[in-house]
Amino acid sequence: MNELEDIKLKALLQSMKLEKPDPGFSAMVMNSIFKESNALEQIKAQRILGKGFWIILALFLLLAVVVYAMGNAGIQPEGKLEQLVPGMENGIQSFTSRIGTIPLSVAGILIASSVLLFIDRFISSNSKLFAH
Amino acid sequence: MEQKDDIYYIEKVLAGQTNYFSYIVERYQDVVFSIALKVLRNRDDAQEMAQESFIKAYKSLSSFKGTAKFSTWLYRITYNNCISELRKRKIHFASTDDVDLKDEAEEVNLDGIPEENRAKAIKEAMDRLPEDEYTLILLYYFEDQSVEEISKVTQLSESNTKVKLFRARKKLYTILNEMMKDELYTIL
């Protein structure tokens, strides 16, 4: 086939009218896109971590700080806590020693479970995002 | 020019001005719809598939790197969508050879087709091509895409695309020849 024939075929094909979709097609596509866009915006705007998570985390951190402070400095000077609440110092010491005896594997399981629960919650709350 | 325009609209859309995507839809809807219609052979299905292709393109727009033409990227999405839909319906993607290829088919005289009938004749001939060959001819001649770009759309190798394109062109000439002969017989 020579080049001239190819050019003629090209001109002929470009004169061909393509099939057109219905007149409202463009508007229909744009409506769907706007819907999708709004849904994605809503997902983005949603907070991944709820209020409950932050409360629990704050309480946990507070507890950790209290345990640390009492273990190191809080109870040492003149046993003030023992004076305020008799028996409290022994209780805390017993509690911290018990925590210390938890095997590492149990702690690992607890942490892994928490992480899995968090991932599950994250995925289920963003199911639309992961569906695409 | 076309490339620059596409990128301009794409940047606008990526910057959050979603409504600019309508220019892209307007520009490519006919080709996207034609490919879908040829493959799915039903207007409603083709329209749905074309819509899906545009939505998919919109959602993945941030992954468009601009290394290829936007049209190539969009047609690839459309073509893949259509093939996946056919697979879902367990319909074989037709690449039939129901037209006998003859050597003399190369020698069709395009000027022999009356000018007023040319557009109609070529459309009829194109309609008789199987889906894959229709897409190749459409992209190469109508959309002015290179063999390399077409190979990206169809996911065929460049050499395979060239061979298929050659065969498709030959087949188109054969069909046009037959149509011209039929017309001649009708006149006689």
Digit-coded pLDDT (tens) for B67-96: 889 999 999 999 999 989 888 887 666 554
Is residue B13 in a domain? yes
CB contact under 8 A, B58 and A25: no
Q: DSSP class of residue A101?
A: T
Q: How confident is the model at residue B34 (pLDDT cuts 50, 70, 90)?
A: very high
Distances (CA, A) of B71 to A97, B16, B90, B94: 68, 21, 28, 24
Nearest to A12 among B31, B46, B118 (CB): B118
Residue-wise pLDDT for B145-177, tens only, equals 999 999 999 989 999 999 999 999 989 888 888
Query: Phi, psi (5° rounding) for residue A5?
Result: -60, -40
> Where residue B24 sits, what CATH number does that domain have?
1.10.1740.10
B17 in reach of chain A (CB within 8 A) = no
For residue A82, give its domain range.
3-128
CA dist., res. B69 & res. B78, Å (int): 14
Q: Quote the pLDDT of residue B102.
A: 55
User: Which has the minimum average pLDDT: A24-33, B27-36, B38-47, B85-94?
Assistant: B85-94
Structural domain contains residue B94:
no
Calculate mean pLDDT across residues B94-119. 61
Higher pLDDT, A118 or B33: B33
Instruction: Indicate the pTM of the whole model.
Output: 0.67
Residue A38 has a pLDDT of: 84
Residues 6 or more apart in contact with residue A83 via CB below 8 angstroms: none
Give the range of the structural domain holding residue B175, as residue numbers without chain letter.
103-187
Integer Cα distance of B89 and B179 in angstroms: 33
Residue A15, min C-alpha distance to chain B (Å): 6
Contact B136, B164 (CB under 8 A): yes
- Provide the domain count of chain A: 1
Count of domains forming chain B: 2
Which residue from A47, A33, A11, A52 is spatially nearest to B113, judged by alpha carbons? Answer: A11
Chain B residues within an 8 Å CB radius of A38? none
The dihedral of CA B79, B82, B88, B90: what is its sign?
A: negative
Question: Residue A121 above 70 pLDDT?
Answer: yes
> Looking at residue A126, what DSSP letter applies?
T
A21-35 residue pLDDT tens: 999 999 999 999 999
Identity of the amino acid at B104:
E
Which pLDDT score is estimated for B180?
76
Record: contact A19-B54, CB cut-off 8 A: no
Mean pLDDT of B14-39: 93
| Least-confidence region, from A121-130, B90-99, B116-125, B143-152 | B90-99
Residue in chain A closest to B27 (alpha carbons) equals: A26
Whether residue B9 sits in one domain with residue B43 = yes
Q: What is the pLDDT of residue A60?
A: 80
Same domain, B82 and B107: no
Higher pLDDT, B64 or B89: B64
Q: Which residues in B lie closer than 8 A to residue A32 (C-beta atoms)?
A: 51, 55
Cα separation, A9 vs B109, in Å, equals 10
Of B88, B113, B133, the position where a domain reaches its end is B88
The answer to whether A34 contacts chain B (CB < 8 Å) is yes
Q: Answer yes or no: do B112 and B82 share one domain.
A: no
| A20 contacts B29? CB cut-off 8 A | yes
Judge whether B59 lies within some domain. yes
Q: Tell me which H or E stretch contains A3.
A: helix A3-14
Which range has the top average pLDDT, A40-54, A88-102, B33-47? B33-47
CA of B18: which chain A residue's CA is closest?
A: A34
A128 in contact with B, Cβ within 8 Å: no
Taking CB atoms and an 8 Å limit, are B18 and A5 in contact across chains? no
Mean pLDDT of A49-68: 77
Q: Which two tokens stand for residue B168?
A: 């498709």
Pair B32, B107 in one domain: no
A73 and B CB contact within 8 Å: no
Residue B1: its pLDDT value, please?
45
What interface predicted TM-score (ipTM) does this complex get?
A: 0.78
Domain boundary among the residues B88, B113, B148 is at: B88
Percent of chain B scored above 90 by pLDDT?
Answer: 52
Q: What average pLDDT does the structure give for chain B?
A: 84
- For residue B53, being part of any structural domain is answered with yes
Selection from B100, B87, B72 nearest residue B40 by Cα: B87
A131 in reach of chain B (CB within 8 A): no
Q: Does B55 touch chain A (CB under 8 A)?
A: yes
DSSP B18: G
The pLDDT assigned to B41 comes to 87
Tell which of B57, B88, B119 closes a domain.
B88
* Distance to chain A for B1, nearest Cα, Å: 19
Q: How far, in Å, are B51, B53, B90, B150 from residue B14 at the CA level?
A: 19, 18, 37, 26
Specify the CATH number for the domain of residue B172. 1.10.10.10
B19, B20, B29: best to mutate for the A interface, most A CBs within 10 A = B29
Q: Is residue B95 part of a domain?
A: no
Q: Give the residue from chain B lying closest to A30, CA to CA.
A: B22
Helix, strand, or coil (residue B162)? helix
For an interface test with A, which of B38, B59, B165 has the most A Cβ atoms less than 10 Å from its Cβ?
B59
Same domain, B58 and B128: no
Say yes or no: B23 and B63 in one domain.
yes
- CA distances for A57 relative to A52, A70, A91, B168, angstroms: 9, 20, 24, 67
Percentage of chain B exceeding pLDDT 70: 82
Query: B9: which 2 tokens?
Result: 């609209």
Which of A5, A13, A20 has its CB closest to that of B137? A13
Nearest CB to B26 within list A17, A26, A33? A26
- Copy the structure tokens of residue B50: 């074309």
